[in-house]
């Protein structure tokens, strides 16, 4: 018996259980009820807890060229995931997605060079590194598909834009896309004029802010338009707060510049570092919003400290963005909810 799957998310369609995945009132329908609601009313997230993917075992059986999609605003979540290990000794193309969110001054060649070095550090070599920023992406990918004549398997962390990229290649909106993680729920194989494209379930990152926010807060946190860097010139010890999601204390600054790259809908507050604790104790969850569910008060935050050695460094907060620090400061203390990952890296910009 052939099973019919939802065109939008790949779930097997069924008309028995309206609370389970793939439900359709009528089996002649092309999209499950959840996809229908997401696509038409931006609702339907209630099912996602049923399907949270944290490993790549389902992809082991697939053969073809992997297309690893990463989100340029949140590179570290992808680079520190299980994906690099999975891709060892596999052929893959790296697509740096959401390039439109970066300032135009950052040229593709620079991003490509940067990603090449990061891949080398991970012991990986890609067939190509492509930045998805404009319409030229479609042409480049179509040429690669012709060159390889194999199935292309789009994979990556949830929400990086795998389904959006496939829709772009097809010039259609066949796949369901949404700012909530875990929109695609099953392997979804599309036989198309340009070749076989396989959409896959995104890996849910435990350390990412985006895994803990409700749908309306995600609107604020996931950037949808070009990120305008917010620049601070700092002296002595200062504290920058990004909503109620992260607090960055920069200690003993001497002509230090901190540039924050995150959604411009988030409020960034600057204060003296000595006032940081009282500010957060008094205003967490009120002035300092949004917050995530698992951190009810400032006491639930963890501190991650970095000794700043070079002249320039990026501090990245998974699912949120990053802060580029230039100049001297003795230490950076980052307070985030305990579950959230924080990384230091070589500067991107």
Ligand X SMILES: Nc1nc2c(ncn2[C@@H]2O[C@H](COP(=O)(O)OP(=O)(O)OP(=O)(O)O)[C@@H](O)[C@H]2O)c(=O)[nH]1
- Which residues form the interface with ligand X (CB under 6 A)? 97-98, 100-101, 132, 158-164, 177-179, 181-184, 202, 224
Strands (E), 228-329: 230-242, 246-262, 268-272, 301-307, 312-317, 321-328
3-state secondary structure of 283: helix
Work out how close the CB of 193 gets to ligand X at its nearest, in angstroms, rounded to a whole number.
21
d(CA 168, CA 140) in angstroms, rounded, equals 12
Stretch that binds Mg ion, among 11-19, 38-46, 53-61, 176-184 (CB under 5 A): 176-184
3-state secondary structure of 328: strand
Task: Please enumerate in sequence order all residues whose Cβ is within 8 A of that of 232, keeping only pairs 6 or more positions apart, or say none.
Answer: 238, 240, 257, 258, 259, 260, 270
Work out how close the CB of 183 gets to ligand X at its nearest, in angstroms, rounded to a whole number.
4
What DSSP letter does each residue of 12-43 carry, written as one string? Answer: BPBSS-TTSTTB-SSTT-SS-HHHHHHHHHS-
Stretch that binds Mg ion, among 44-52, 148-156, 159-167, 188-196 (CB under 5 A): 159-167
Q: Does 78 bind Mg ion (CB under 5 A)?
A: no
Residue 178 interface partner, choices Mg ion, ligand X, none, CB cut-off 5-8 Å depending on type: ligand X
Residue 34 interface partner, choices Mg ion, ligand X, none, CB cut-off 5-8 Å depending on type: none
Work out how close the CB of 48 gets to ligand X at its nearest, in angstroms, rounded to a whole number.
9
Select from 53, 184, 208, 313 the one that contacts Mg ion (CB under 5 A).
184
Residue 283 interface partner, choices ligand X, Mg ion, none, CB cut-off 5-8 Å depending on type: none
Select from 97, 126, 163, 180 the one that contacts Mg ion (CB under 5 A).
163
Tokens 């501190």 belong to: 303
Q: Does 5 bind Mg ion (CB under 5 A)?
A: no
R_g (Cα) of the chain, nearest Å: 21
């Amino acid at each position: 018996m052939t099973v019919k799957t939802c065109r939008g998310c790949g779930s097997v369609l069924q008309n028995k259980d309206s609370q389970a995945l793939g439900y359709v009132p009528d089996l002649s329908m092309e999209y499950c009820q959840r996809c229908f609601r997401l696509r038409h009313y931006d609702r339907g997230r209630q099912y996602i807890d049923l399907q949270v993917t944290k490993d790549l075992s389902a992809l082991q059986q697939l053969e073809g060229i992997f297309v690893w999609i990463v989100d340029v605003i949140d590179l570290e979540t992808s680079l520190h995931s299980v994906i690099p290990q999975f891709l060892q000794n596999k052929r893959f193309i790296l697509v740096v997605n959401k390039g439109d969110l970066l300032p135009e001054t950052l040229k593709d060649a620079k991003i490509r060079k940067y990603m090449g070095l990061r891949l080398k550090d991970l012991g990986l070599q890609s067939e190509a590194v492509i930045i998805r920023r404009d319409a030229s992406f479609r042409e480049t990918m179509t040429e690669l598909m012709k060159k390889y004549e194999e199935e292309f398997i789009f994979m990556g962390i949830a929400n990086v834009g795998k389904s959006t990229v496939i829709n772009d290649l097809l010039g259609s909106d066949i796949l369901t896309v949404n700012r909530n993680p875990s929109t695609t729920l099953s392997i979804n194989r599309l036989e198309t004029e340009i070749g076989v494209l396989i959409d896959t379930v995104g890996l849910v990152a435990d350390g990412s802010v985006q895994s803990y926010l409700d749908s309306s807060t995600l609107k604020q946190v996931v950037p949808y338009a070009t990120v305008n860097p917010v620049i601070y010139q700092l002296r002595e010890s200062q504290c920058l707060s990004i909503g109620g999601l992260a607090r960055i204390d920069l200690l003993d600054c001497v002509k230090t510049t901190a540039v924050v790259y995150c959604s411009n809908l988030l409020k960034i507050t600057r204060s003296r570092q000595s006032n940081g604790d009282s500010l957060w104790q008094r205003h967490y969850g009120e002035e300092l919003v949004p917050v995530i569910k698992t951190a009810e008060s400032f006491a639930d935050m963890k501190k991650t400290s970095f000794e700043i050695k070079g002249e320039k460094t990026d501090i990245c907060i998974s699912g949120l963005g990053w802060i580029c620090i230039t100049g001297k400061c003795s230490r950076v203390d980052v307070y985030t909810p305990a579950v959230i990952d924080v990384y230091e890296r070589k500067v991107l910009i």
